[in-house]
Structure 1
Amino acid sequence: MYYGFDVGGTKIEFGAFDKTLTRVATERLATPLQHYDQFIAVIAEQVEKYDEILNCVGLVGLGLPGTERVDDGTLMVANIPGLNGRRLRQDLETRLQRPVRLENDANCFILSEAWDDSLRDSPSVMGLILGTGFGGGLVYRGEVFSGRNHVAGEIGHMRMPVDAWFWLGDNPPLFQCGCGQQGCLESYISGRGFEALYQHRHGQFKSAVEIIEHFYAGDTTVIEFVEFFIELLAICLGNIFTAHDPHTVVLGGGLSNFERLYQALPQRITRYLLPIAQCPEIRKAKYGATGGVRGAAFLNLQP
């Protein structure tokens, strides 16, 4: 059995998957935010419980909103203070007496998509999350590529390309990113950036949901803004695709549900690629909110 834990700032979702990758168990647990020993206990007790129920020694994978430092195994997790600086993987392995796989939650999201039957033979799959923030992950031949420092795919913290900066006009906003830098892609082409740019250009706040609703209602001001934003997104993605040249791109996060993106992006992105290049297939994530727990479990399908 493959056990996956999708760890978030409020809840932990658990899933057990059999050898056919069919989910056979589901539970949700509250995330202990401050107390490390309590966090260890919650994970370990869940594993031990399902070992007994399913009569197996399950293979364990965790997806976290953070990163494990390569050189010492400590964690950097923004919204779960009790995990910061801790060697979670090693401590769980000691408690459970088995290997534990651990990855960033964005990588788990795209691993789940890449192991879908329709993509399993794809040589490279890139996942892009257009949610509150903007991030991504890379899967090559069925395996997550994390990079030297486990930050491969953190494309939200690339800076705006110069052509995108020019596209913002004569008075471009210099947004501050949560990472401490300015001009990060995350601050402009995420759901939060979608809202911030609308407010900058039109002097009033609308939520992403409201902007999209007004777009479909035929509001000409909003239609103009949406087309402006899609062009900005196309410029940024064109730069990313030139660097990575993925075969397939899967979009997740709240903005990925905006169908206009799939109609407009492929043609527009092509203008920002090398002349010999074609835009990769861009598709919507299939597994939605369940992708994280699937991907965490499937970490143990990798070499």
Structure 2
Amino acid sequence: MYYGFDVGGTKIEFGAFDTTLTRVATERLPTPLKDYDQFIKVIAEQVEKYDEILGCVGQVGVGLPGTERVDDGSLLTANIPSVNGRHLRHDLERRLQRPVRIDNDANCFVLSEAWDDSLRDSPSVMGLILGTGFGGGLVYRGEVFSGRNHVAGEVGHMRIPIDAWFWLGDNPPLFQCGCGQQGCLESYISGRGFEGLYQHRYGQFKPAVEIIENFYADDKTASDFIDFFIELLAICLGNIFTAHDPHTVVLGGGLSNFERLYQELPQRISRYLLPIARCPEIRRAKYGATGGVRGAAFLNLQS
């Protein structure tokens, strides 16, 4: 039995999955944001409860918005202060007397998608989240690839490529990123970047939902901006795909629901690839909000 915990800033979602990857249990619990001992207790008691209910010793995976420091195993996360700087995996393993896998939520997202029946045989799957921020993860032959420092797939903190910078025009905005750097892709092709670029170009703020609604209502300003943004996105993704050459790309996050992306991106991206390369298949995420808990549980799967 595979147990997954999707830890967010307000709630922890638990799911138990059997060997056919069918979900057999679901619970939601409040996230202890300030008390580390309480956080450990919540996770451990949930595991012990379902061990008894299901008559097994479940394998445990935890997904959260953070990363383990590779050299000492301490956790780096801004959204869950109770576990920041703590050796969460070690402490859970000691309490539960079994191995525990921990990974960031973007990796769990793509792992969930990669283990769907339609993608299980794909040699490589890249997941990209076009949400408030922009990030991603990589799965090779059914397993997350985290890299030396557990930051593989953190494409949101690549700098904007020169051809994209030129596309921004004569007065390109140099946006500040939350990581402390300037010019990160996250600041331009995320939902927040979408809104910021609109404001920069037209001198007024509009939420992304309204811009897209105006596009569907044949508003010329919105249509011009959407055309501009999709080209910018294509340039940036072309650079990412040249580096990683994934077989399949799965998009998640709020902007991934914009159908126009799937109509336009494959043809536009092809112009920014090497002449011998083809654009990978680009598809919308299948599991949505449930992908995090699925992916956390599947951290213990072996391909």
Same fold (TM over 0.5): yes
1:66-117 CA-to-partner distances (Å, cap 9, x unmatched) read 0001110000001111111100000000000000001011000000000000
Which residue is 1:216 aligned to?
216
| 1:203 matched to 2:199 | no
Distance in 1 of aligned mates of 2:208 and 2:88: 36
SS of the residue corresponding to residue 153 of structure 1 reads coil
Distance in 2 of aligned mates of 1:236 and 1:149: 23
1:209-262 CA-to-partner distances (Å, cap 9, x unmatched) read 111111101101000000000000000000000000000000000000000000
Matches for 1:1-303 after TM superposition, within 5 Å = 1-302=1-302
Cα RMSD after superposing both structures: 0.6
Distance in 2 of aligned mates of 1:302 and 1:131: 29
**Percent of aligned positions that are identical:** 87
Distance in 2 of aligned mates of 1:11 and 1:219: 39
The code of the aligned residue for 2:174 comes to L
SS of the residue corresponding to residue 82 of structure 2 reads helix
SS of the residue corresponding to residue 172 of structure 1 reads coil
SS of the residue corresponding to residue 21 of structure 1 reads coil
The code of the aligned residue for 2:264 comes to A
The code of the aligned residue for 1:225 comes to F
The code of the aligned residue for 1:224 comes to D
- Per-residue deviation at 1:56? 0.8
- Per-residue deviation at 1:302? 3.0
Distance in 1 of aligned mates of 2:27 and 2:240: 37
SS of the residue corresponding to residue 194 of structure 1 reads helix
The code of the aligned residue for 1:129 comes to I
Distance in 2 of aligned mates of 1:45 and 1:85: 22
The code of the aligned residue for 1:229 comes to F
Distance in 1 of aligned mates of 2:50 and 2:237: 42
1:187-228 CA-to-partner distances (Å, cap 9, x unmatched) read 000000000000110111111111111110110100000000
Q: How many aligned positions are there?
A: 303
The code of the aligned residue for 1:133 comes to G
Distance in 2 of aligned mates of 1:193 and 1:269: 19
Q: TM-score, normalised by structure 2?
A: 0.99
Distance in 1 of aligned mates of 2:5 and 2:273: 38
Distance in 1 of aligned mates of 2:212 and 2:26: 33
SS of the residue corresponding to residue 81 of structure 1 reads coil
Distance in 2 of aligned mates of 1:28 and 1:265: 37
Distance in 1 of aligned mates of 2:43 and 2:76: 18
| Structure 1 stretches of 4+ moved >6 Å | none
5+ long unaligned stretches in structure 2: none
The code of the aligned residue for 1:76 comes to L
SS of the residue corresponding to residue 139 of structure 1 reads strand
1:163-209 CA-to-partner distances (Å, cap 9, x unmatched) read 00000000000100000000000000000000000011011111111
The code of the aligned residue for 1:44 comes to A
- Per-residue deviation at 1:63? 0.3
SS of the residue corresponding to residue 222 of structure 2 reads helix
5+ long unaligned stretches in structure 1: none
Distance in 2 of aligned mates of 1:83 and 1:227: 42
SS of the residue corresponding to residue 251 of structure 1 reads strand
Distance in 2 of aligned mates of 1:4 and 1:100: 10
Distance in 2 of aligned mates of 1:211 and 1:293: 31
Q: TM-score, normalised by structure 1?
A: 0.99
Distance in 2 of aligned mates of 1:201 and 1:87: 45
